[in-house]
Structure 1
Amino acid sequence: MASPLKRPALGQLAGLGSLYDARGDNFLPMSLFDKSLPPNTVETTEISSSNTKFIFDDTLKGKFAAFGVKEELGVSILAGLAKVEGSGLYLSDKRHTNHATQCSLLYDITTVYEKLNFTASGVKKSIKLRELDTDVATHVVTGISWGQRIVFTARQQLHLSEDSSNVSRKLAATLTQIEEELLGGGTHICLEDSAEISIFGDDLGTVPILTDLAGAQSIIKDIPTRGRQISMSESLIVDGKQATD
C-alpha cells in the first residue's frame, strides 16, 4: 500500500471526501460521496493550538521549507499546475529591488482535526462508485487539520548609508513584538515609519493586504473572531481505491 500524502492547503478549500489529483497537485470540485455521511463517520479532535515561525530566507527554497512544501508539490507550483491562494500567495511574493530588506513571521492556528472513518456503519453506501472508475482523480481527502495561516512580512527600503544587517535586525525586532501580541503578550509595537507590512491570510482575500502598523494591529485584534472562519491548513490524502477497501 502506498504511503498517504500530506500537504499544506496553501489557501485552497476542500472537505473530507474531496477528490484530489496528485499529477497536478490540485483539489478537485468533486466528492467521493453522493449524500450526507452517516453519524460517527467523521472522527473529530479539538486541538486549539497556535505556533509561530520566523522566515529570514525569502528565496523560494526558504519559503517552501517554512511552509512544509515538499519537492513534488514545489515543482507543481513553479509549473503553474498547483493553485495557491490566501496565505499561499506569500510563496510568489517577491522583492522588486535589491535595495530593500525583509523578513516574515508565519503564524499558524489549528482548531480541529477531522478524519474519515471508513469502517463506520453505512459509509460505503454513500460512496459514488462511478467516481472511482474515472481517471480524473488519484486520491481522496481523508483527514484535515482545520485552522488558518497568516504571514506578516515587514519590508523596508535601504538608503545608501544604511547597513542592511542593522535594518534586518530592526525588522526582526518588530516581528518579535508582533509575535508577542499575537500570543497575548500585549506588547506595544513600535515600527519604523518607512517599513511596509504585507499580510497574507487564508481568509483575507485573494491578494495580500498592504498596510502599516495600525492596520496590522487591527487585523491582529480581529484574529480570534476569524478563528471559526476556518480554512484547511493541511490535508491527509490517501489513494481513493485503497480508502474503500
Structure 2
Amino acid sequence: MAEGVGTIEMAALGRPFQLGMLYDCRNDSLVPGVTLWDLNILNTDLHKTSQRNTDFSIIASDSIEDKSSALNLKASLKASFLCGLVTVEGSAKYLNDKTTSKQQARVTLQYRTTTTYEQLTMSHLGRHNVTHPDVFDQGTATHVVTAILYGAQAFFVFDCTVSSDENKQDIQGLMKGIINKIPQIEAGGQGSVHIKEQDKLQTNNFSCKFHGDFALPSNPTTFEDAIKIYTDLPKMIGENGEYSVPVRVWLHPLNLLDNKAAKLVCSISIGLVACSEAVLEELDDFDRQCNDLINHKIANQFPEIGQKIKQFKGMCQRYKFFFQSKLAQLLPSIRGTGKQESLLADLLNTKEKSPFSKHLLTTWLEEKKREINIIKSYVSRMEDNDIEVASSGSELDNLIVDFRVINMFCFMFTSLKHHEPYLADLTNYLNSSNDETQFQISDEDNYLKQNIKQWLNSDVSQQIRSCAILFLKLTEANKTDEKTKFIIASTEDESNPGASLYLYKNGTLVEKNFQLPPKPSSPLIDRKAHNSVTLKLQPLSCDPGETVKHRVEFRKVSEEVWIQVAREDKNECLTVLALCAKTQYQFRYVVCVHGVNVTSDLINSKTLPTSP
C-alpha cells in the first residue's frame, strides 16, 4: 500500500525525539547528528501549547495486540518492534514484559499524563527556509520531526501465581477489582497507605513490576509499594512538566520539502503484520507452556523428559530469532521499494510447511503433556505407598547397594529416552535455514505418523498398567518385610517397551522383566479314601526360582474358608488328611511368589464313605 504524502503520527516508545530531528521510516530509526536547520533557527518561532490530561486504565490481557493498543502502537511501527528494528525504553519496556507461565494471572494498571504540545511552524517548513539543503541528497532519512506531545506513562504490572485447584479467570477478575481501586486509595501521612483489611489479605500474593517514564528511588515490588508510587506520580513529572518526555511525535515527509529526498514508498499491509504478530505470539505461548512443563514435578523426577522439553523450547527460541531476523531484512526493503511484500507472505507460508508449523509444534507438545500426565498418575499412586523415585543412575545405585536389602523391585519406565526424530528435524531445519525451502513438508499427516510417534500406544499403555498392578500387589504383600524394597526409576530398554519390573537380588540385577509364573494347572486326583485325598501336582511351565512357595488349599463346598496345606518337598503328590467321609470338597493349587499368590482353577472331589 502506498503511504502517500501525509504526516505520520507515531508513539515515541521512550526514544529521544527532538523537534527538527531526522527520521528514517524505512527502518524506523532516528538519524542523529544531521539536521536541516541550525540550532538557533530551530529554536526560533516554535509553537508551544499546554495540553494537560491525565487518565488511567486497566489491562487484563498480556497479548501483543492489547499491549500495542495501550501504547497506541500502529501496525507499521509494531512490525518494526516485533522484528527488533526498534529498541524501546521507559514505559514502552512494558511491551517486552511477558508472562512466563500459563499459571500466571496478570492485570496491569496504566497511568497516562500529557503536559505540552510543541511544533515547528511554516518559518521552518517553507521550501526556502532550510539551512542545510544538502541533507536531501544523502538519502539517510525520509521524514523530519515537526511536532511532539510531551507527558509520561507508567505501567504497574501485577502478577499472581494460580494454583492447580484455582481458576485463572476468577483470580484475574479478583485482581482487576482490587487494582481498579488504586486511583481512589489515599496516601496518609509519612507515606502510609490506607487499604481495607480484606483487600490487604487478598493482595499478599501479588507481585509488582514497574515500567515508566519516571525516575524512582526504588521500584515497587508489592501492592502497597505500587499505591505509594502511584499517588506520587503527579508530583514526579514536575510542577510545570519539566520532567516530561516525548510520548507522541508527528513526522513530515522530506520529499514535500525537496523531491530529491528519500521517501517511504510502501507501508506493510496490516494483514501481513497481523500474521507476523500471530507467529511471534504463538512462539511465546509455546515458551510459556514449556516453562510449566519443565517445572513439573515429573519432569524433575525424570530428567530425560525435562531435557527433551528444554531442547524443544530452545529450538522454538532459535526459530523466533530466525523469523525476526528475516522480518528485519525484509521490512526496510519493502518500505523503500514496495516490490518485495510477497517475500513476507512467502516467509509466513514457508513456516507452515516446515517442521515449525503451528500444528506440528502443538502436536508434539500435547503428546508430551499426555506422557507427563500418564506417568504422574502411576507415580502418584505408588508414592502413596512411600515408594521413592530414583531420578538418576547414581541415585538408583545408592538404593540398590543397600546391604540391608535382599530383594529390590524397581518399576522401570523403559521408553522415556526413546529417540525423537521430530526434535532432530527441528535442529536440522535451523541448521540449513539458508535454504529453508529444501525442508518443506507436503503431507503433514504422514509426517506426523512417521516422526511424532506416540510410544504410549494402546499396547504399551496396557503393558504399563499390568506392570503397575503387579508392582502394587508385591508392595502390599511385602510391606512388613524389611529385606524387600521397592523403587521407581527410568532406563532405556527397547526389549520391554513402556515399563518393566526389574528385580535386584543382593545388589545384582537378576531379572529385567519380572513376572508372576503362569497360572498352575489344576491338581489331579491320584487316589482318595474316606478321610483323605491324594493330589498329583502338575509341574509349573517355568522355573520361578527359589523364592516360590507351593501349597494346596481345600474347603468343603458348603464353606467359605480355605484351609492351607504346605508342600514341603518337591514330590509330585501331596496327601490332604483329616477329611470327613462322604463329603464334597474343593481343591486348588497355589504358587506364592514374593508374597503374591497365583492360583489354579478349582477341582471338586468327594471322599469315600466309611467301611460298613
TM-score over 0.5 for the pair: yes
Distance of aligned partners of 1:4 and 1:171 in 2 relative to their CA distance in 1, 3 Å threshold? same
Checking the alignment, whether the CA contact within 8 Å between 1:21 and 1:136 is kept in structure 2 is: yes
SS in 1 for 2:98: coil
Instruction: Determine if the alignment matches structure 1 residue 142 to structure 2 residue 146.
Output: yes
Over aligned residues, Cα RMSD in angstroms? 2.8
State the alpha-carbon separation in 2 of the partners of residues 42 and 124 from structure 1: 18
Q: Match for residue 10 of structure 1? A: 13
Q: Please tell me whether residue 157 in structure 1 is matched to residue 167 in structure 2.
A: no
Please name the residue that 1:108 is paired with: 112
Amino acid at match of 1:221: T
Structure 2 unaligned runs (5+)? 187-192, 260-612
TM superposition shift of 1:120: 6.2
Which whole-Å CA distance do the structure 1 matches of 2:144 and 2:184 have between them? 38
Of 135, 149, 163, the match for 1:131: 135
How far apart are the structure 2 equivalents of 1:41 and 1:159? 61
> Which amino acid in the other structure matches residue 57 of structure 2?
K
Determine what percentage of the aligned residue pairs are the same residue: 26
Q: 2:36, 2:131 within 8 Å by CA — same for their partners in 1?
A: yes
Q: Once the two structures are superposed, what CA deviation does each residue of 1:220-245 show, in whole Å capped at 9, x if it has no partner?
A: 23312321311110001111242579
Contact 1:139–1:238, Cα closer than 8 Å, also in 2? yes
Does 2:230 match 1:220? Answer: yes
Q: Deviations over 1:164-202 (max 9, x none)?
A: 1221122112321223359xxxx9444511101111102
Larger mean Cα displacement after TM superposition, 100-109 or 213-222: 213-222
The 1-side partners of 2:59 and 2:225 are apart by 21
Q: Is the 8 A contact 1:8 1:234 kept in 2?
A: yes
How does 1:196-235 map onto structure 2 within 5 Å?
Answer: 196-204=207-215, 209=219, 211-227=221-237, 228-235=242-249
Tell whether the 8 Å contact from 1:55 to 1:106 is kept in structure 2 after alignment: yes
Q: Which of the two has greater helix per residue?
A: 2
Distance 1:181 1:135, change over 3 A: farther
Q: Structure 1 62/38 Cα, relative in aligned 2: closer, same or farther at 3 Å?
A: closer
CA distance in 2, matches of 1:181, 1:26: 41
- Cα distance in 2 for partners of 1:76, 1:62 equals 17
3-state SS in 1 of match to 2:169: helix
The reply on whether 1:240 has 2:243 as its aligned counterpart is: no
- SS state at 1:36 partner: helix
CA–CA separation in structure 2 for the residues paired with 1:39 and 1:24: 28
Taking the aligned partners of 1:3 and 1:129, their CA distance within structure 2 comes to 21
**Of the two, which has the highest radius of gyration?**
2
Report the Cα distance in structure 2 between the residues aligned to 1:74 and 1:164, rounded to whole angstroms: 29
Instruction: Give the C-alpha shift of residue 143 in structure 1.
Output: 0.6
- Hey, what does 1:195 align to over in structure 2? 206
Report the AA paired with residue 238 of structure 1: H
Among candidates 3, 20, 23, match of residue 20 of structure 1: 23
Q: How does 1:59-98 map to 2 (within 5 A)?
A: 59-98=63-102
TM-score (norm 2): 0.37
Q: Which has the larger strand fraction?
A: 1
Is 1:166 the counterpart of 2:173 in the alignment? no
TM-score with structure 1 length normalisation? 0.87
Q: For residues 14-59 of structure 1, what are the alpha-carbon distances to aligned partners after superposition, in whole Å with 9 as ceiling and x for unaligned?
A: 1110111101112232333222236752111101111222222211
Q: Once structures 1 and 2 are overlaid, which stretch shifts more, 196-205 or 67-76?
A: 196-205
| Alignment match, 1:99 | 103
SS at match of 1:82: coil
**Matched residue type, 1:4:** T
TM-superposed CA distance for 1:151, in Å, is 0.9
Q: Which has the higher contact order (CA 8 A, sep 6+)?
A: 1
Contact 2:124 2:130 (8 Å CA) reproduced: no
Determine helix, strand or coil for the equivalent of 2:231: helix
Gapped regions of structure 1 (runs ≥ 5): none
Deviates more, 1:12-21 or 1:234-243: 234-243
Comparing 41-50 and 117-126, the one that deviates more: 117-126
Checking the alignment, whether the CA contact within 8 Å between 1:45 and 1:112 is kept in structure 2 is yes
Tell me the matched-pair count: 240
Amino acid in structure 1 at the alignment position of 2:16: L
Give the Cα–Cα distance (whole angstroms) in 2 for the partners of residues 81 and 95 of structure 1: 22
CA distance in structure 1 between the partners assigned to 2:157 and 2:151 by the alignment: 20
